[in-house]
Structure 1
């Protein structure tokens, strides 16, 4: 997006960054264990190129981020202490303010909270791709008040994901999983216009099974979305596109014992993963592609009994010669768990943001930078 100011534009507007106070909206929403220790600092490290670019030019950087889901009030479980300590190791001298969502003005996009964030600030940089689909105060507010730009991480995410949308290489395959099909209806609709094939796993496949008249036992499904799924299958056929659904399922029988099924599950049975045949078939589709986007696990991979489907797809993403993009969230966590995160071309820092950008071609955070104070 050439119409969004970059770091160089911000520097040109301010003239000399030395001594300038720059507020960088980062996404340091990192996973924590029960003791409050960081288990994966990927999102902190992902912001370093922007932070270092600014500090090397003499700017004083103040970072702000959310962490977890506090209810608009201070919550010690989500305090930024551990993040602040890690940031100090990686980027000494950089300030990190307290969790933005401790103030209800953040999610409420309060003008008073925006004024508080921009008080004494000379410039603003949005480097929080994973939060840029939210019209929150720290995302859409500052560009209206101070010279602003996108950081290196946000710039790269936008370039890669809009490249999928606007400059696809065919065959282009989308691999979608996760629990709820309702979370991905919009992106499925949009992807049908640009991809050649869609692979669907995870619990969302069961609502599609119902649309085909199959039994799903006690598996997670959304009855109110069955007609919508039937419409998507019909639209795919009309467009000459293919939606691949699993032919076999791993799960538990009515007694709670591990079991393997076809694509019809009896009463009391629950599906938790795609089966080995489906995993092999999905691998073939991925290996034949020139471009692949993956968002959502194939099953409950946190449980080793139901990890094989997601592991197989992750390995295919690593092995294929296609340009591969993983849309953050649980898919990125799965890649890290299987130690394959360095084997794909791009791992996004935002699950929901990547889906919304693919669906709509824009995000509230990008629009704010585009329409804010010119730099």
Structure 2
């Protein structure tokens, strides 16, 4: 049994013994009981600048291979989202390439017709974020001119996504949060975009724990008031809304919102703390998933969804519950650094050559935090090759001065 010395939060160390590898079966047919997108991260070139403000240079082979890995487990991919460091290092030129390349890769999967994705479309396999991050907030005009600039930016990005083939996700916009004077401005912008959409889109509501610049989204800091604006928009445009992706980390709010949605509009949970019970449902309704944590636990997530498909709900819930502590840890405050944990597990599992992130975000978590990530991933059976993971973890600890 492999063991290594891990640091503890009190400044000490302790021996940790790894478990044997868990074998996770890939699906032999498309997953049907829940619709699920894993919000994938991006992998930079290890020799790129990778410092704050530097242009993003991606390792395309590794980045796209990660998406193929997710598809092989029957999961869709949510791309060009906050998990991919939108607004946190991934610039719009690199994002355009990501959308186009992922769309082309998804089309190749559709053409191949694999067992896990048979009969699925590109839109089933990948959804991509359309936002406004090409705008310079420092020079953004106020008032109606600002709203028109936001609308034009959304249109530009939505067109890139549509032309590439994926489903459009209308992301929450820092620019709109900056220029909107009230709920009517949000409704005006989103209603226009929805009516112009040629196919139903996903609406994205991201809480301030993920991005503080989104305070007061939908025109109010009061979540209940904001929710009424959000719901009125959806009800007026239900035929143009595939679903809503809500990341407020508030399970009771999500349950109430889910029940209030028009028939046919999905709720894709973005709650990386409470996803087991939300996906499991209340016996009448359940949430689908568009989750950052699914990019880290995709093998277990797939196994759970396979169990739901087989009518084994208790088994499915138990699998999801077994990953909960890892999810809570990776998404612990400051929550917007959760991407660091996802990239770290990707590196430990051999999916990328180095523990690097665009914009220097690999420095976003402490050594002790990442050691705990390693431990919880092992306990959940999510270290594909425990010996490789232990080797890389040992190297990481050594170069960071642990045990030296």
Pair in the same fold by TM > 0.5: no
Which has the larger Rg? 1
How does the TM-score come out when normalised to structure 2?
A: 0.28
Structure with more of its chain in helix, by fraction: 2
TM-score for the superposition, normalised by structure 1: 0.30
Q: Which has the higher contact order (CA 8 A, sep 6+)?
A: 2
